[in-house]
Amino acid sequence: MAEPRNGALAPRSTRQRLRLPVAIALVSALAALSGCKKRLPLTPKELARVQTEAGVQPLRVYTERKLISLYPADEKNEQFEVSRDIRETTRQDQLKKIVTKNTAGLILKIEERNGAPLLWVTFEPGCTAVDCAYGFVQTEDGRYRLADVPDRPSFADPTIYRSCVWKKRKLRAGRMKSLQESNDILLVKKNNGKLLTIVLTVKKIVDDRTRTRTDRAKGIE
């Protein structure tokens, strides 16, 4: 292929190859300046610092996994017809409430339950009271785990699932390890003994930089 004339543009493929390292370097530089955003479990130490320095009002919290609550209606619609045979039909309404991993929540109130801190969290802008909020209680490992799901008017008690609607992801009230735990939480006990829960998390930007001053030794004359 002939060389480009003096002052002429390089072929498009060459220009694209030259731009790629520049773009990568720019993205890396922006990432370094902005810090690294991580999703971490909310800890008592972190919560205490938030309360001291800013209060919980600006803080947004998130669930570790998708939370699904199925609320059956209190009443069923039943029909009974007789013609050449008997036909009985039952219909029941159901409300499905979903809190995703990216649904931002606000801590409304902090109480105690059997000596352990209990956080009441709302994920709805219209909910400003404890009776429509979710309860996350502190367990012995310093995590805040789901313990209470709010009731819904005209609906019965919900069935609660972790991540997806599946019988093996159905959350039930129980203790983490033994009766030494102060409170029940909502959990799934797997056959291998592992426990699945809903942990409260926060998004945190970690900007950890090191400032280095160089001092070169002058040597001995």
DSSP assigned state of 82: E
From the centroid of its chain, how far is CA 169? 17
Mean pLDDT (the chain, rounded): 85
pLDDT of residue 11: 56
The number of beta carbons lying within 10 Å of the beta carbon of residue 126 is 6
pTM metric for this prediction: 0.75
Let me know: does 144 contact 135? Beta carbons within 8 Å. no
Q: Which residues of the chain have pLDDT under 70?
A: 1-35, 77-78, 178-179
Domain boundaries, the chain: 36-205
What does the pLDDT look like over 29-55, one tens digit per residue?
444 444 678 999 999 999 999 999 999
For 65-218, where are the E strands, in sequence order?
A: 67-72, 77-82, 86-91, 94-99, 106-113, 116-122, 134-138, 144-148, 159-162, 170-174, 185-189, 195-197, 200-206
